Structure 1
């Protein structure tokens, strides 16, 4: 099964390189080129097999959403010269991720089910069920770990540790709420509910910029709107489009990223099933048919498009 697991380019004018969990980042003076590979991670662990077309799906959904929110906050993107590539400003990232939740799902539900009624310093009411809508969206930040697991952190701890100034953090909160509201509107147009998501921010020339990808199945969770209320009333699982199904498959096979646990075997059938779900999310979210990019000579294509566009793209 063809997929882009990693890239190892050497570009003219390149000043650095960083391999993240799923993206390969090439640095050039004040800008960077981000290659969305087909690697997939869960529980902060990169899984052993890449997922066909996953990188293209994430990059194209992120590109659409960054354009659709550029009136709210400036973002890092200068150009998307290839389905797997984004070129943009090299911003200095904040050491926190702004997670916002409109529904009690995923990690928040697992914490709530374990008896916690406060997450990241935010109080949650009694009597909630999994996937219930929260009285209002809550911001539950995490640390941005260079290695290992991101960890929940409160607003108070962020300010006390000096991770973000109070002035900047107030801006990040306002941007996060406005972006979530816009994301909710865009999802509703396609019959989806934006359940929760995360945003990352950085600074460029002294200004706050939105960075990384937004509203993708890796950074967000979506439910189908149709039948949501009936399923909640009857205590049934929600139909969702997100990476949560990968986490649930791992949990069911005894893996949660903890020490001593082994990633279960990813058969061709499992890999194909994950790929199909990513294509489904793309088509439901965008309302467009997904056009599969040819994997033949994909690396040469990506390399050429980065080199041609990295310095010609205007500020």
Structure 2
């Protein structure tokens, strides 16, 4: 239920430290897409069981050290770079004349590093550094790929997953704008490594979702965490603190020392619960006693707690 944005955790007045229903919504949405990926024959995920709305039992995976980002529209950080005059983004050449929030001619894969990776030629040792396909191919083992062929494999799985979610969201009047997937290897029963989807997919935390009808009218109506990011940018006196990585100490102090209005977090709650119920087609189950219920499940069904 914690709410992170701009690499900080935010809270609200009255001691409100999380967003009601957010964790359950993320679990429900991601599990829905993971299950659909499996049913359609794309690839498996790390999920073994989902015994509670707030609990997954997962298979340990060896992560690929890449944030696998796919973009169908030019917005967010790509637009800001483009607006500054940059025409090469993650090794991809962009044409002149693009406008903000415009649909791109094709789905673009714009990866970044997962965590701080050191001693990779040409890749700064910092979090979330944009990288190119050539960077990955030259250093595939440093990014935890078993082989250079798996670089193309992850791109295929990313494109297939994006297309499936985009198709399903279109039926619900939503546009799948961009997203971040993560991948890893698990060992199957025969002892072979399999490249799988992991972490989360297609959630309002990891993706931008726009209302299709509003977009046809020339408006962007967010149905994801981007809605909160935009509200935060409008709320703080100096938005540059949130956008400028060089001002991270100021940003951390801002998040730590300032309680936001409760309705800013409740707006996130309403969006996440609504989207979870629309995507899954089911009411979102909410825990009345989260800690007690989780302990009971882990102790009674899995003997993971004494």
TM-score (norm 1): 0.79
Could you tell me which residue of structure 2 aligns to residue 93 of structure 1? 63
Q: 1:311 to 1:72 in 2, by over 3 A?
A: farther
Distance 1:267 1:156 in 2: 45
State yes or no: 1:307 paired with 2:285.
no
Q: Per-residue CA shift, 1:68-126, capped at 9, x if unaligned?
A: 11120111111111001111110000110110011112222222222212211112222
Could you tell me which residue of structure 1 aligns to residue 161 of structure 2? 179
Distance 2:298 2:116 in 1: 25
What does residue range 130-141 of structure 1 map to in structure 2 within 5 Å? 130-141=100-111
State yes or no: 1:77 paired with 2:55.
no
Structure 2: segments with no counterpart, 5+ residues: 12-16, 118-125, 188-192
What does residue range 39-118 of structure 1 map to in structure 2 within 5 Å? 39-48=2-11, 49-70=17-38, 71-118=41-88
**Cα RMSD, aligned residues only:** 2.0
Q: Per-residue CA shift, 1:160-200, capped at 9, x if unaligned?
A: 23323421111101111111110111111111111111111
Contact 2:53–2:286 (CA under 8 A) maintained in structure 1: no
> 1:309 offset after TM fit, Å?
4.0
The match for 1:212 among 199, 205, 208 is 199
Distance 2:231 2:217 in 1: 25
SS in 1 for 2:72: strand
What does residue range 1-315 of structure 1 map to in structure 2 within 5 Å? 38-48=1-11, 49-70=17-38, 71-145=41-115, 149-162=127-140, 163=143, 164=145, 165-205=147-187, 206-231=193-218, 237-252=219-234, 253=236, 254=239, 255-256=241-242, 258-259=247-248, 260-261=250-251, 262-263=254-255, 264-294=258-288, 297-310=289-302
What is the aligned residue count? 268
Runs of 4+ with deviation above 6 angstroms: none
Greater RCO (Cα-Cα under 8 Å, separation 6 or more): 2
Q: 1:240 to 1:270 in 2, by over 3 A?
A: closer
Distance 1:59 1:146 in 2: 27
Q: 1:146 to 1:80 in 2, by over 3 A?
A: farther
Q: Per-residue CA shift, 1:14-35, capped at 9, x if unaligned?
A: xxxxxxxxxxxxxxxxxxxxxx
Contact 1:83–1:293 (CA under 8 A) maintained in structure 2: yes
